[in-house]
Amino acid sequence: MEGGLWAATAAAAPDLPTLEGEVTADVVVVGGGFTGLSAALHTAERGLSVVLLEADKIGSGASGRNGGQVIPGLKMDPSELRRDYGQDMGGRIVKLSGGAADLVFDLIKRHAMDCPAKQGGWIQGAHSKIALKSVLARAEEWQREGAPATIFDKKMIADETGHDFYEGGWIDRRAGQVNPLAYARGLARAAVKAGARLFVRSRATGIEKDGDGWRVKTATGSVRAGQVALCTDAYSDELWPGLRTAQVPVKSVQIATTPLGHNVRSRILPGGAVVSETRKLAVYYRLDADGRLLMGGRGPMSEHVGNATLDTLVRTVRRLWPFLDSTPYEYAWSGTVGLTLDHMPHLCRLAPGVITGLGYNGRGVAMTTAMGTVLAKSLAGTPDADLDLPLSDLPKVPLFGIRQPFIALAIQYHRLRDAMGLPG
Ligand SMILES: Cc1cc2nc3c(=O)[nH]c(=O)nc-3n(C[C@H](O)[C@H](O)[C@H](O)COP(=O)(O)OP(=O)(O)OC[C@H]3O[C@@H](n4cnc5c(N)ncnc54)[C@H](O)[C@@H]3O)c2cc1C
């Protein structure tokens, strides 16, 4: 399970040291995933001195394990965002999240990252006629926002996916795919080039007030900085009270076939889009740059990913494309996704000079990158009112310690809703 496809195929990581001794900076970023790396890059580009501490390796959290689907927008649709956050802030969130995929592809190009990337669109397939209604409403909303969104009927979506299990759907052509570990490593290289100092195998073990700033300690050193950005998302430990319990952690698992022959490949996702479904307990899939089929879905309740979970994904592949019946599988891996109860990412000021961005609900490749730009603006002194995300309290999952039975119940509930064809 460890490492998976991306560790085997991504361009090499930059050679980074472990923190030894005491250093000072304007800003210390904790966490070397997309959020922390984007925050470090964009803060350094604004002229501040930045140190980033990563407990393990660059991208060793969710950022180096995900499906690499770069999807703009959020779970909430533009009209819902404007309803809940008001015309001005709602509009800004729509613009930020809607532009997040373009931001990723622009960064890859601008920094000449060694990262397979393709802006081939994201298809959302409707698993029922009821779900199709809500999907079409979403597509029409994004069309009104000026997004390159196309609605698919049953025949069109079958042509695009190579199977006829969907009632219809839509494609958002702003979206696409990357090798996520290569992207994380590319961001790290860009941040170093911009002047940020990155340290790996340097877990932050404590944060304390130090004069008018903060001191963040590791086992072998410490960083004295005016401001701290905590970017540890679903991989948070006990570093800051309440951070680990701010989200519901759930496992997501992926498998990848060996590279498929060209004839077979052309019968699956010929347009090069990535796909997810309207089901709440959905699967997500795509081809990678070498023509492997990747299939991902919900993982087990425990840390251990057993054969039953993998078999479910293999069965899904065979159900969608029976001609892949005897295709061998090369990789299987898993990671933790953080879910917030309101399905929204959150920007939170934890104390004066300490800020965090978290809560991407399984759709973080694009939004983490955008969050990093918002964190950088805030760290560089942009007033809260001018940020493109609202500051909120740190979310809290009630009864976090005994969440397992509730998650099990929620899964049963969503399985029932999926079977009834209700939208996720
Ligand atoms: C299996 C899987 C599939 C997914 N698929 C997709 C997808 O296809 N598309 C999509 O948009 N999103 C997807 N996601 C979600 C996406 O990967 C995440 O939203 C995103 O990577 C979160 O990035 P992050 O930088 O906030 O957190 P992370 O990448 O998790 O980074 C947090 C980092 O903090 C470090 N850390 C923790 N504590 C400390 C400490 N005390 N000191 C120093 N460092 C610390 C960790 O080691 C880790 O590297 C998927 C997630 C998973 C797990």
Please state the atom number of ligand 1 nearest to the C-alpha of residue 60.
49
| 16 pLDDT more than 70 | yes
CA angle centred on 7, ends 5 and 13, rounded to 5°: 150
Q: Which of 28, 64, 289, 37 is nearest to 177 (CA)?
A: 289
Which residue has its alpha carbon closest to ligand 1 atom 48? 61
Span from the CA of 257 to the centroid of ligand 1 (angstroms): 23
Q: pLDDT grade, residue 280 (50/70/90)? A: low
Output the pLDDT for position 397.
83
Lowest-pLDDT range, 47-51, 184-188, 307-311?
Answer: 307-311
Say whether 235 sits in a helix, a strand or coil.
Answer: helix
Q: What is the H or E stretch that residue 72 is in? A: none
Span from the CA of 278 to the centroid of ligand 1 (angstroms): 23
Which residue has its alpha carbon closest to ligand 1 atom 50? 66
pTM as predicted: 0.95
DSSP 293-345: EEEEEE--SSS---HHHHHHHHHHHHHH-GGGTT--EEEEEEEEEEE-TTS--
Output the pLDDT for position 108.
98
What average pLDDT does the segment 40-66 reach?
98
Output the pLDDT for position 2.
46
CA dist 384 → 6, 214, 369 (Å): 37, 21, 19
Q: Could you tell me what percent of the chain has a pLDDT over 90?
A: 87
Which residue has its alpha carbon closest to ligand 1 atom 53? 335
| 1 pLDDT more than 50 | no
Between strands 21-30 and 69-70, the pairing is unpaired
Output the pLDDT for position 399.
65
Output the pLDDT for position 418.
65
Ligand 1: which of 360, 361, 369, 371 to mutate, judged by most atoms within 8 Å of the beta carbon?
360
Six token digits for residue 76: 């909430």
Span from the CA of 234 to the centroid of ligand 1 (angstroms): 6
Which residue has its alpha carbon closest to ligand 1 atom 21? 63
Question: Residue ranges per domain, the chain?
Answer: 4-386
Residues in the chain: 424
Ligand 1: which of 18, 69, 298, 337 to mutate, judged by most atoms within 8 Å of the beta carbon?
337
54 neighbors 28 (Cβ within 8 angstroms): no
Output the pLDDT for position 413.
59
Span from the CA of 156 to the centroid of ligand 1 (angstroms): 34
| Protein fold of 4-386 | FAD/NAD(P)-binding domain (3.50.50)
Span from the CA of 358 to the centroid of ligand 1 (angstroms): 9
Pocket of ligand 1 (CB under 6 A): 30-36, 53-56, 60-63, 65-69, 71, 203-204, 231-237, 239, 252, 254, 284, 296, 334-337, 360, 362-366, 368
Which residue has its alpha carbon closest to ligand 1 atom 35? 31
Output the pLDDT for position 224.
98
Cα–Cα distance for residue pair 315/374, rounded to 1 Å: 41
Span from the CA of 390 to the centroid of ligand 1 (angstroms): 22
Please state the atom number of ligand 1 nearest to the C-alpha of residue 252.
1
Which is it for the CA torsion 329, 331, 333, 339, positive or negative?
negative
91: burial class by Cβ within 10 Å (0-12, 13-18, 19+)? middle
Span from the CA of 61 to the centroid of ligand 1 (angstroms): 4
pLDDT digits (tens, 9 = 90+) for 294-343: 999 987 666 667 788 889 999 999 999 999 999 999 999 999 999 998 99
| 194 pLDDT more than 50 | yes
CA dist 179 → 63, 134, 334, 419 (Å): 10, 30, 15, 33
pLDDT digits (tens, 9 = 90+) for 24-44: 999 999 999 999 999 999 999
Six token digits for residue 254: 């992926």
Say whether 381 sits in a helix, a strand or coil.
Answer: coil
Please state the atom number of ligand 1 nearest to the C-alpha of residue 276.
8
| 420 pLDDT more than 80 | no
Q: Which of 234, 208, 249, 214 is nearest to 35 (CA)?
A: 234
pLDDT digits (tens, 9 = 90+) for 121-180: 999 999 999 999 999 999 999 999 999 999 999 999 999 999 999 999 999 999 999 999
Span from the CA of 45 to the centroid of ligand 1 (angstroms): 23
Lowest-pLDDT range, 176-190, 221-235, 291-305?
Answer: 291-305
Please state the atom number of ligand 1 nearest to the C-alpha of residue 53.
43
Output the pLDDT for position 302.
63
pLDDT digits (tens, 9 = 90+) for 353-410: 999 999 999 999 999 999 999 999 999 999 999 999 999 999 988 766 766 666 666 6
